[in-house]
Amino acid sequence: MNTIVYPNESYRIIGAILEVHNRLGIGLMEKVYQEALEKEFIFQKIPYEREKKYELYYRGVKMDAYYISDFVCYDKIIVEIKAVSEILDVHRAQLRNYLSLAKCKLGILANFNELFMNPQRIINSGV
């Protein structure tokens, strides 16, 4: 059985992403899209946390370094945005790491520099 994880929530998030993309177009800096997406989440009443930090451990010892995800929506979906020429495997790996650290099942990866945006859903099968 092929079930979509969090269909209602992810539909709303992707809708907000597409709205920002339609209004701003391509070619801006990632921070611009991040701020606009935050405003769109507020406008659409999508619960979120921006730039959430995740602690890192090495051999059980907390490190000074940490990861920061762009958004966590509904306390369970990580949203990572990019403004790059193309999404690479390293971008997907970054989101998978966030999903593992946060113990979240779903991540959404969106590249605002695509003419025809296609946000990618990344599933954490380890949860």
Gap between the Cα atoms of 110 and 104, Å rounded: 17
What are the structural domains of the chain?
7-123 (3.90.320.10)
pLDDT number for residue 3: 77
pLDDT interval class at 2 (50, 70, 90): low
Quick: pLDDT tens for 72-125. Answer: 999 999 999 999 999 999 999 999 989 998 999 999 999 999 999 999 999 998
pLDDT at 63 over 80: yes
pLDDT interval class at 127 (50, 70, 90): confident
pLDDT number for residue 34: 97
Gap between the Cα atoms of 114 and 59, Å rounded: 39
Gap between the Cα atoms of 92 and 75, Å rounded: 20
Burial of 67-104, coded b for 16+ CB within 10 Å and e otherwise, reads eebbbbbbeebbbbbbbeeebeeebeebbbbbbebbeb
Quick: pLDDT tens for 46-55. Answer: 999 999 998 8
Task: Tell me the chain's radius of gyration from C-alpha atoms.
Answer: 14
